[in-house]
């Protein structure tokens, strides 16, 4: 994997699995720790610029989740929600002896960070474009499930051409290859960078299959004909397996920074990765209507849960990067770093 100057990789053998962790070369490992967790179809490589920009008074650590980057590939039990991932992060943090950490999670990694915080005390949480506390797809505003089997959610929702392109290591700019998906979904239309090859390599490190990405699916009598399975990455975020709204009852409650872009194509109230929204706008035929298959209001759900968090004594701050897509930390790294440092320094 391509590392930027000043970044080094460490292999960490935990009781659960062997993980790959990026750190800053020459850092004081005993300094207060900021731990970064990447999202789906990515790896720790995406955090390198931010890690280099964080002041030296902090140690920085970016962990490859199982089946991503250079960490060990192991099956993902989706019936545990995101706990396979969060337990791996916990084991890595414990093996490194970091103690309580400032935890930063992006997209699916935001859900991993929330699950970690439910199970372990943290100093603070920073959530960038996080998956809704109610999972990805198939829920109404209040988090209730739209169908008893989570129809239209999980492993069956992945585009098979995209999965095949990962398996083939396709670095072209085809719309359904990693580079094309990065340009159309990970960032806003005006973003360009000479580091794109690194981001594409990171995406292509994703391990595919029934036990990893995207996971399995089961047949459903409900539209669109499939429902969430019990294995693999996408099924971890099915609402029957994942509900992180319990954070409202955490005691003590760590301060939360929520960063998002207002042009996010993945996590939004009109997500082009939400099967029900695609049905609503006519991309997938046969949509049965709002009552049976509502588009998920992801932003509104996150805000509602965080409002409850604040009402019960917690604090959170929502920061919107205007014109940014799913990756504010790439599109405006200086602002992202400033917001993060101000948050962890409180």
Q: pLDDT for 146-181, tens place per residue? A: 999 999 999 999 999 999 999 999 999 999 999 999
Q: pLDDT for 214-252, tens place per residue? A: 999 999 999 999 999 999 999 999 999 999 999 999 999
The total domain count for the chain is 1
| pLDDT bucket at 110, cuts 50 / 70 / 90 | very high
Neighbours of 80 (CB within 10 A): 16
| pLDDT bucket at 113, cuts 50 / 70 / 90 | very high
Report pLDDT for 190. 85
Kindly give the pairing relationship between strand 33-37 and strand 226-228: unpaired
Sign of the torsion formed by the C-alpha atoms of 237, 238, 241 and 245 = positive
Tell me how far apart the alpha carbons of residues 31 and 336 are, in angstroms, rounded to a whole number: 21
| pLDDT bucket at 212, cuts 50 / 70 / 90 | very high
Q: Is residue 44 part of a domain?
A: yes
Place of tokens 């991503």: 68
String of b and e for 132-153 (b: at least 16 CB within 10 Å)?
Answer: bbbbbbbbbeebebbbebbbbb
Q: Is residue 274 part of a domain?
A: yes
Kindly give the pairing relationship between strand 256-261 and strand 316-321: parallel
Are 166 and 241 in contact by the 8 Å Cβ rule? The answer is no
**90 lies in which domain range?**
7-344
Q: Is residue 1 part of a domain?
A: no
Can you tell me the mean pLDDT for 82-101? 98
Nearest to 334 by CA among 29, 45, 1, 54: 54
Q: Is residue 86 part of a domain?
A: yes
Find the radius of gyration of the CA atoms of the chain. 19
Q: Measure the CA angle with vertex 124, ends 312 and 244; round to 5°.
A: 55
Q: pLDDT for 266-318, tens place per residue? A: 999 999 999 999 999 999 999 999 999 999 999 999 999 999 999 999 999 99
Residues above pLDDT 90, as percent of the chain: 99
Tell me how far apart the alpha carbons of residues 260 and 127 are, in angstroms, rounded to a whole number: 8
Kindly give the pairing relationship between strand 59-63 and strand 33-37: parallel
Instruction: Label each residue of the chain as H, E or C.
Output: CCCCCCEEEEEEECCCCEEEEEEECCCCCCCCEEEEECCCCCCHHHHHHHHHHCCCCCEEEEECCCCCCCCCCCCCEHHHCCHHHHHHHHHHHHHHCCCCCEEEEECHHHHHHHHHHHHCCCCEEEEECCCCCCCCCCECCCCCECCCCCECCCHHHCCHHHHHHHHCCCCCCCCCCHHHHHHHHHCCCCCCCCCHHHHHHHHHCCCEECCCEECCEEECCCCCCEEECCECCHHHHCCCCCCCHHHHHCCCCCCEEEEEECCCCCCCCCCCCCHHHHHHCCCCCCCCCCCCCCCCCHHHHHHHHHHHHHHCCCCEEEEEECCCCCCHHHHCHHHHHHHHHHHHCC
**Structure tokens given for 21:** 């962790």
Q: Is residue 24 part of a domain?
A: yes
Q: Is residue 249 part of a domain?
A: yes
Are 138 and 146 in contact by the 8 Å Cβ rule? The answer is yes
CATH number, domain at 199? 3.40.50.1820
Q: pLDDT for 119-129, tens place per residue? A: 999 999 999 99
Q: How far is CA 61 from CA 211, 261, 282, in A?
A: 26, 24, 43
| pLDDT bucket at 339, cuts 50 / 70 / 90 | very high
Report pLDDT for 1. 65
């Amino acid at each position: 994997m391509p590392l930027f100057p000043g970044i080094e990789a460490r292999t960490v053998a935990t009781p659960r699995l062997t993980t790959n962790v990026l750190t800053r070369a020459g850092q004081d490992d005993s300094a207060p720790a900021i731990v970064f967790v990447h999202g789906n179809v990515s790896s720790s490589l995406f955090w390198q610029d931010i890690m280099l920009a964080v002041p030296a008074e902090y140690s920085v650590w970016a962990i490859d989740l199982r089946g991503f980057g250079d960490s060990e590939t192991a099956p993902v039990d989706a019936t545990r929600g995101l706990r396979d991932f969060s337990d791996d992060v916990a084991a890595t943090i414990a093996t490194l002896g970091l103690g309580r950490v400032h935890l930063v999670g992006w997209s699916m990694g935001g859900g991993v960070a929330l699950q970690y915080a439910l199970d372990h005390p943290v100093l603070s949480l920073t959530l960038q474009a996080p998956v809704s506390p109610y999972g990805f797809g198939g829920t109404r505003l209040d988090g209730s499930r739209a169908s008893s089997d989570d129809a239209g959610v999980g492993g069956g929702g992945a585009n098979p051409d995209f999965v095949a392109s990962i398996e083939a290591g396709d670095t072209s700019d085809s719309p359904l290859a990693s580079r094309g998906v990065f340009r159309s979904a990970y960032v806003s239309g005006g973003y360009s960078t000479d580091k794109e090859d690194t981001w594409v390599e990171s995406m292509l490190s994703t391990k595919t299959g029934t036990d990893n990405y995207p996971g399995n699916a089961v047949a459903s009598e409900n539209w669109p004909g499939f429902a969430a399975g019990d294995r693999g990455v996408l099924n971890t975020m099915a609402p029957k397996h994942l509900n992180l709204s319990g954070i409202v009852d955490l005691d003590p409650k760590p301060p939360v920074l929520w960063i998002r872009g207002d042009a996010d194509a993945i996590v939004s109230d009109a997500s082009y990765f939400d099967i029900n929204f695609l049905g609503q706008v006519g991309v997938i035929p046969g949509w049965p209507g709002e009552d049976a298959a509502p588009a998920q209001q992801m932003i509104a759900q996150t805000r509602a849960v965080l409002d409850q968090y604040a009402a019960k004594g917690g604090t959170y701050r929502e920061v919107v990067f205007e014109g940014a897509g799913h990756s504010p930390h790439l599109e405006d790294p200086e602002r992202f770093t400033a917001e993060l440092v101000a948050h962890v320094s409180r």
